[in-house]
Amino acid sequence: MRLFLPAAVLNATVAAFPNNWRIVEFAPGNTKILPEAGKLDLIKEGIKSIDVSGWPGPPKKLDCHQVRHPTQVAQNESVTCLIQQLDIAKMRPNLETFTNFHNRHYESETGRQSSEWLLRQARSYVPLGSLATVSLFHHASQKSSIIATIPGKSPKTIVLGAHCDSINTSGDADEWWNARAPGADDNGSDSITILEVFRTLLTNRTIANGSAPHTIEFHWYAKEELGLLGSGHIFSTYAAEGRDIAAMLNQEMTGYTAGYTSHNMTPKFGIVTDGTSAPLTEFMRLIIDAYTHTEVVDTRCGYACSDHGSVTRAGYPSAFVFEGEMRGVNDYPFIHSADDTIENIDFEHVLEHARLVVGFVVELAFAEL
């Protein structure tokens, strides 16, 4: 059943159904009402969708003129100094701890514990006297999302996001919450990437004390694997509140390169060109060229393939850089399984992603937007 109805009508319809029925969206305006079990079947079949049950309205259209992104880098000295502070010796043990949780499913006890550990770890990086805060963003589940905020002189905000849940879809859907899912690459790698960038930015006194022109937020989203629920809750709330989000960089899976290296190929960044902001994506190319040593390849991932889908749906500009091409030589064979372990992670590639994140956030936080 394809439905093209106002959100209020759809939500009222779902409320009338028993057994926790949901509204899922396969493309703007292309929605379907399913029971929770039906949504799980879609995920197991690899069909991408966003759960829009709690959204107050249809997708918003991005005004491409609302944000002016820089056309050249201007913070080379600061970015270069911060990049030198990034440390694999801190990222590796953090990822080891993160993957030691049995899984990070949003309805599991270990999922809740993993969020609490991540919250404590991020808070431990906030220096005395800094204005930075780290807090939970609660959902109707055991696992919460986490938002770390470094205030700036203006409320205009740069967001760096990654989902922090994991899932094992190899068995029956009603057992996913209990299955072993270390989620080292998906998406422990990027959760730890932006955690290390958060630590590093706070070594800069100007940023840490709130003197950057713009506000910076780090997001770790719960419930991504079940329809972008965590990021959807956050960005639909931001849109309703009129929050000024100037840019969001989403990265998902930053550590697998064996597909490339096994074919004697150089690892690449995959720049996602669908479902993202073209001007912000062009800015991202500028950052990669200026601050990393990695080549790029354009790739597509389909509607609602990751949390940038929630950002775009809320009318904000987003960019998405993946660990390589979405499909092809570097396909990750261990996704959504018990074999997604730390042994598969290339930390030098993770470090390259961290470099581009530092460049992205510092250039934008100090730019005229």
Q: Residue 135 phi/psi, 5° resolution?
A: -145, 165
Indicate the CATH number of 64-365 among 3.30.70.100, 3.30.300.30, 3.10.129.10, 3.40.630.10. Answer: 3.40.630.10
Q: Where exactly does CATH 3.40.630.10 map onto the chain?
A: 64-365
pLDDT tens per residue across span 231-285: 999 999 999 999 999 999 999 999 999 999 999 999 999 999 999 999 999 999 9
> What does the block give as tokens for 98?
């993160």
Q: What is the pLDDT of residue 2?
A: 40
- Pairing of the two strands 50-51 and 295-299: unpaired
Q: What is the pLDDT of residue 13?
A: 54
For the whole model, what pTM was predicted?
A: 0.94
Q: pLDDT tier at 4 (50, 70, 90 boundaries)?
A: very low
pLDDT tens per residue across span 350-368: 999 999 999 999 999 999 9
Once rounded to an integer, what is the mean pLDDT over residues 290-310?
96
**pLDDT above 90 for 100:** yes
